[in-house]
Chains A and B, each alone.
Chain A
């Protein structure tokens, strides 16, 4: 557990090192990046191995940083952060494996990549709101460069849109935090101090502050109607970055809601609950329907991410432990599954066929030309559809259990979302990979048309598939970390609606 802060330091050190190594050779930069990511992942797994679930945060580091403002360099972890750092480790490792073919300015690519990862680890481990915010911003900048420099379709537009949305969200968050700090006369920026300060504010103030904080974070989580950066950003990003973007960066927003917005001003959640829930449901259903009619394969996956993050936001809005446990599980699950889907579409398919248009892909017998990619995509698609046995299922089931306790109508609408997810995923599988299948299609044809799937691709895909299956069959592995953390004093305030 005590090693967890080193994930941050190692990532930043790795970023510098890969920049240096990149001047020598691309292979060295790759090696450095992979070693760094695996080492960080190893640390998170080691921490998980020794973790005893409890309702207390485990304090990792607490050093005064800016004493005049009461800002500390304060890192802490509980079961929720642990789940997400393990996800980060996995997604980073897999993302690097799927970026193995980056040939242009490899060192810089991995430097930005690892800096992004370092920022993400930092966010998940921060216990001081100011520090949280700093890491949050650190994560945005490399993302912009990754997309603008190494992206594809409309990359400058996508990168700019993403950065602007993110900064606008951050501005709202900062305003909300400063409001609490100033108006509530907080003694410092730790989450506990801010929560105390916020409790002293008037109810209308709390309601407005909550709107600032939640909206600011939810932009990054892809909440409807602020989700439009997500599909364009995902599509423009290079594969490894899409995987991170959908896999962990969208989780930053959700995590911000969970860790900062909800516990700091629980009274606001009570007020805004129906609005958030309906926006989340609108996201689930609308993005699902949009995914159903996309012509670009990567846009299908991009919108499916928005739809799945809708479940996360719904769980956040429901404000009960069952739904919140499902939310964290869904964050993990979506991180893994979205990573897989983007890996198949962006790396395995697009970089070989050089098209993402479903109308063109359907004319290729892809299931025979790249059977490995087809099998991985089918399995990832099943996981994304919420098939039992994969991680999406226990997550959605838990959220539905929580939703039913709050509102039957929301639960029904969410169930409809499950159906739409099945429809658009099956369509994508059917059109992209099995367009020329069936007895009517010609049986023989050129088989070795495309470069074979490489070992980094295989390794990455197998890692992610194993993770989704493991969590699907044994969701208690993660739920037993998450559920005790939901009973912490801060989260208790959320369940009882801020009356402490």
Chain B
């Protein structure tokens, strides 16, 4: 199984290269080719799953390739590794990415370039989930912005230029300080390796090598970089317009995968490297996460544009992940059960949100396609009678997002609230407000679009075609499967979560 992880990253990039070198490819051929390259991730992720030992602690399938060697100064390696968290996210990428390409099947303007950029983005996202050294990790982290920028800008809506610019400048603004933070860590520790840095932090050597305020500054730099990416309230202002202006396939990937990159960074970098600082900052961060939960949901309630509504609901859903994370850090050691539940719920919520939010963006894309670009809350109505299959699948995605028991969204949110109640009941109580608001606006979505008298956008509405069903069905099927059998994923992350909870300061 040598080289599995590098293959995972390189195959989509190879696909991008193939598309770049074949300018005369027909649109159809480029779509099929891109889909095949994209599906490789799913196949390889399943191979990794089959060979993955859930009971083992630490990283598996590790690879370490010599890269930059400067005697006595630095030895940077291309260090890759996979644990339960990475595996869950790689699986998610394998599921969401092909769906995005299927959702973009109808793109007429330069489909080859679209697919090329998309495959590049997919490889970069996988690199973020698999790299264990800052150098390759940051290459993928930053380079993922480039295809995302062009996907939004060139294929997006009328306000796309501004949205894309805002998105990239905000994110790079965060990353610049994260870069500085890692430069400072390198100055102190002489390594960029996440595993080595975590070991130094765990043994206290990192804190001993510099002053307390310096370490706090470094922590803030990394925090800023990650908070913009997730985004954590109040760094979310780039998100609604970027998600709303992006073409459907890109919106799906942005919300499904790229927002997970930020949460992943919290778990992979901030959590092991700065446990003390995180604990100290937790009261403030907890407040911000609650702000995201509550205000995100209320803002979504106020939207009349469906895409912006789902975009704000993403702020709300991702804030649950951060809420759990910060609550665990805030409570500190001594609550292994609650902490384990909250952290397990976080990972599950990441996966669930990836499925349901990308499915919802796809459904809105279907609405837009059939109504000539309309996506207002009041433009539709009665879609259930003209397109029952669509209504059924979209309804399941909506209810999964809402957290209906029996579907996957419930399990993640339940675990998060089960954990947070044990750790900080007040925060959990406030967070419930967000749950109610979410239920309200998602039900409004359901009612106004699928029930009632037909609106202007429903004339000549066709039900889903085979390709569209194929795009949506796997995600919907998984919503059921995970709703009744969450152990499927929980089994992968339980040992990891237990280890995390045991290492609290």
Residue B146, interface by CB 8 Å: yes
| A430 and B180 within 8 A (CB) | no
Chain A residue nearest to B164 (CB atoms) is A430
A402 contacts which chain B residues (CB < 8 A)?
187
B67 contacts which chain A residues (CB < 8 A)?
474
Residue A388, interface by CB 8 Å: yes
| A439 and B155 within 8 A (CB) | yes
Whether A388 contacts B154 in the complex (CB less than 8 A), given A415-B180, A483-B73, comes out as no
| B68 and A475 within 8 A (CB) | yes
| A389 and B143 within 8 A (CB) | yes
> Which residues of B in the span 143-192 have a Cβ within 8 Å of any Cβ on A?
143, 146, 149, 153-158, 160-161, 165, 168-169, 172-173, 176-177, 179-180, 182-184, 186-187
Residue B217, interface by CB 8 Å: yes
Q: How far is the CA of A167 from the CA of B459 in the complex (A)?
A: 76
| B179 and A438 within 8 A (CB) | no
Q: Which applies to chain B's interface (DSSP): helix, strand, loop or mixed?
A: helix
| A415 and B161 within 8 A (CB) | no
| B179 and A422 within 8 A (CB) | no
| A400 and B180 within 8 A (CB) | yes
**Distance of B263 from chain A, by nearest CB (Å):** 21
B168 contacts which chain A residues (CB < 8 A)?
422, 426
Residue of B155, B180, B217 most packed against chain A (CB within 10 A):
B180
Residue B205, interface by CB 8 Å: no
Residue B65, interface by CB 8 Å: no
> Which residues of B in the span 56-105 have a Cβ within 8 Å of any Cβ on A?
67-71, 73-74
Of A34-42, A180-188, A248-256, A404-412, the one touching chain B: A404-412
Residue of A404, A476, A480 most packed against chain B (CB within 10 A):
A404
Residue B139, interface by CB 8 Å: yes
Q: How far is the CA of A254 from the CA of B176 in the complex (A)?
A: 25
Whether A404 contacts B183 in the complex (CB less than 8 A), given A476-B69, A479-B70, comes out as yes
| A483 and B70 within 8 A (CB) | yes
Residue B135, interface by CB 8 Å: yes
Q: Which applies to chain A's interface (DSSP): helix, strand, loop or mixed?
A: helix
Residue of B153, B172, B182 most packed against chain A (CB within 10 A):
B172
A437 contacts which chain B residues (CB < 8 A)?
153-154, 161
Residue A336, interface by CB 8 Å: no
| B180 and A404 within 8 A (CB) | yes
Whether A422 contacts B176 in the complex (CB less than 8 A), given A387-B142, A411-B184, A427-B165, comes out as yes
Q: Provide the A411-439 mask, 1 if CB < 8 A to any CB of B, else 0.
A: 11011101100110011001000100111
B217 contacts which chain A residues (CB < 8 A)?
408
A411 contacts which chain B residues (CB < 8 A)?
180, 183-184
| B169 and A388 within 8 A (CB) | no
Residue B109, interface by CB 8 Å: yes
B165 contacts which chain A residues (CB < 8 A)?
426-427, 430
Whether A397 contacts B161 in the complex (CB less than 8 A), given A385-B172, A439-B155, comes out as no
| B154 and A438 within 8 A (CB) | yes
Whether A401 contacts B70 in the complex (CB less than 8 A), given A408-B214, A439-B155, comes out as no
Whether A480 contacts B146 in the complex (CB less than 8 A), given A415-B176, A416-B176, A438-B153, comes out as no
Residue B485, interface by CB 8 Å: no
| A480 and B173 within 8 A (CB) | no
Q: How large is the interface on A (under 10, 10 to 19, 20 to 34, 35 or more residues)?
A: 35 or more
Whether A389 contacts B139 in the complex (CB less than 8 A), given A438-B153, A439-B155, A476-B69, comes out as yes
Partner of B143, one of A387, A439, A476: A387
| A400 and B154 within 8 A (CB) | no
| A434 and B184 within 8 A (CB) | no
A403 contacts which chain B residues (CB < 8 A)?
183
Q: How far is the CA of A389 from the CA of B214 in the complex (A)?
A: 28
B73 contacts which chain A residues (CB < 8 A)?
322, 479, 483
| A443 and B109 within 8 A (CB) | yes
Residue A66, interface by CB 8 Å: no
Q: Provide the B36-71 mask, 1 if CB < 8 A to any CB of A, else 0.
A: 000000000000000000000000000000011111
**Distance of A378 from chain B, by nearest CB (Å):** 8
A418 contacts which chain B residues (CB < 8 A)?
172, 176, 179
Residue B138, interface by CB 8 Å: yes
Q: Provide the A353-397 mask, 1 if CB < 8 A to any CB of B, else 0.
A: 000000000000000000000000000001001011100000011
B247 contacts which chain A residues (CB < 8 A)?
439
B142 contacts which chain A residues (CB < 8 A)?
387-389
| B177 and A476 within 8 A (CB) | no
Chain A residue nearest to B173 (CB atoms) is A419
Q: Provide the B437-449 mask, 1 if CB < 8 A to any CB of A, else 0.
A: 0000000000000
| B179 and A434 within 8 A (CB) | no
A322 contacts which chain B residues (CB < 8 A)?
73, 187
Residue A440, interface by CB 8 Å: yes
| A476 and B70 within 8 A (CB) | yes
Chain B residue nearest to A405 (CB atoms) is B187
Q: How far is the CA of A401 from the CA of B71 in the complex (A)?
A: 17
| A401 and B172 within 8 A (CB) | no
| A397 and B70 within 8 A (CB) | no
Q: How far is the CA of A322 from the CA of B72 in the complex (A)?
A: 12
A434 contacts which chain B residues (CB < 8 A)?
153-154, 161
Q: How far is the CA of A397 from the CA of B214 in the complex (A)?
A: 18
Q: How far is the CA of A14 from the CA of B157 in the complex (A)?
A: 55
Chain B residue nearest to A375 (CB atoms) is B20
| B180 and A412 within 8 A (CB) | yes
A414 contacts which chain B residues (CB < 8 A)?
180
Q: How far is the CA of A443 from the CA of B154 in the complex (A)?
A: 11
**Distance of B182 from chain A, by nearest CB (Å):** 8
Partner of A400, one of B70, B109, B138, B183: B183
**Distance of B224 from chain A, by nearest CB (Å):** 10
A479 contacts which chain B residues (CB < 8 A)?
70, 73
Q: How far is the CA of A443 from the CA of B109 in the complex (A)?
A: 8
**Distance of A315 from chain B, by nearest CB (Å):** 13
Q: How far is the CA of A418 from the CA of B158 in the complex (A)?
A: 29
Whether A404 contacts B187 in the complex (CB less than 8 A), given A419-B173, A483-B73, comes out as yes
Can you list 11 A-B contacts with CB-CB less than 8 angstroms, sorted by A residue number?
A397-B182, A400-B180, A400-B184, A403-B183, A405-B187, A408-B217, A411-B183, A412-B180, A415-B177, A440-B157, A476-B74
Binding site for A on B (CB under 8 A): 67-71, 73-74, 109, 135, 138-139, 142-143, 146, 149, 153-158, 160-161, 165, 168-169, 172-173, 176-177, 179-180, 182-184, 186-187, 214, 217, 221, 247
Beyond the given pairs A426-B149, A438-B156, A479-B73, 19 more chain A to chain B contacts, judged by CB atoms under 8 angstroms and listed by A's residue number, are: A322-B73, A322-B187, A389-B143, A397-B179, A397-B183, A397-B186, A400-B179, A400-B180, A400-B183, A412-B177, A412-B180, A415-B176, A416-B176, A418-B172, A422-B168, A427-B165, A430-B153, A438-B160, A476-B70
Closest 3 CB pairs of A and B: A400-B183, A415-B180, A388-B139
